[in-house]
Amino acid sequence: MTVTLKIDKGTAERLINWKNIRQEEPKNLSGSELTLELRDDEVLIELHRKENLLEISDLSGSFGLWLELRDDKIQKFKEILEREGS
């Protein structure tokens, strides 16, 4: 299974302007979004209890998403897990 990170074209264009990514990099920017596909085993999900943050990132450092774990987000995760039967 691949994990896909999608960013809308406006955000991708801003990243190019800020020099965070280069257009020649192999990251589909031709359509309406930038797509980065990773193998599932390349994705890290880690809880940082001290900072009360959840990190979702790839092992090579191409992207990282940090979420503050508030009660509403924790409840949303629980609802998703219950609905999906995990």
- Burial (CB < 10 A; 0-12, 13-18, 19+), residue 34, is buried
pLDDT over threshold 70, residue 47: yes
pLDDT at 75 over 90: yes
Mean pLDDT for the stretch of residues 41-64 = 86
DSSP result, 12-48: HHHHHHTTSS-TTSSS--SSSEEEEEEEGGGEEEEEE
Q: What is the pLDDT of residues 1-45, one digit of tens each?
A: 566 777 777 776 776 666 555 555 445 555 556 667 778 888 888
Residue 42: both structure tokens together: 């390349």
Q: What is the pTM of this model?
A: 0.59
What residues does each domain of the chain span? 2-84
